[in-house]
Amino acid sequence: MSGQTNVAGLSLRNVNKTRWIAITGLFMALNIAMSSFGVPVPGGHLYLCDIVICTAALLLDPVAAFLVGGLGSFLGDLIFYPLPMFVSLFTHGIQALVISLFARKGAKLGGKKYFVYSLIGTIVGAIIMVTGYTLGKTFVYATFEYAMIKLPFEIAQAVLGVVGSLLLVFRLGLGKVLRRFGPY
């Protein structure tokens, strides 16, 4: 038995390559789709792509998580709003990678530790996302003030990603659904 009870605990060498590509591509497409529109709020928009990025990072290995978060966000920005695409590539890529590493550690420990490590990972990922976008916007738009104006929206989007992904994976059982497709 290779310990394939937790989706986040699997390594690339145990993965069915076709399923890995398909599931990674599906999450990447969801990320691109969710970055194409935002929920209007007073003074800006909230984008739902963080829910997809954090969910994918909780369920997938670090390489797949980086591809979904970084490359998916890069492509979404390239298509819809290219100015911050490199900020998205690095910020969401590192965010997803860190979350995936935490989730994998928790999955190996099993039980409630999977949730605790996933919670810690998503919070650390949220901090990475908020910091990365704040610094990135400072350089992309060449003004610290603009970055500070958008800071509350970055924080709200990060919180939405943390809460939404944890609900999808642990409360609604998305990990169990994914495991039904066989060893991933």
**pLDDT digits 0-9 by tens, 37-76:** 788 877 777 889 999 999 999 999 999 999 999 999 999 9
Q: Quick one: pLDDT at residue 15?
A: 58
The pLDDT tens digits of the residues spanning 126-171 come to: 999 999 989 988 888 778 887 888 888 889 999 999 999 999 999 9
β-pairing, 44-47 vs 38-41, is antiparallel
In a domain, 1, yes or no: no
In a domain, 5, yes or no: no
The pLDDT tens digits of the residues spanning 88-118 come to: 999 999 999 999 999 999 989 988 999 999 9
Q: Which range of residues forms the domain containing residue 32?
A: 10-179
DSSP annotation string for 18-84: HHHHHHHHHHHHHHHHHTS-EEEETTEEEETHHHHHHHHHHHS-HHHHHIIIIIHHHHHHHHH--TT
Residue 58 gets the label, from left (phi > 0), alpha (psi -120 to 50) or beta, of alpha
> Which CATH number characterizes residue 77's domain?
1.10.1760.20
Domain count, the chain: 1
In a domain, 125, yes or no: yes
Element (H, E) at 150: helix 144-166
> Does the predicted TM-score (pTM) go above 0.85?
yes
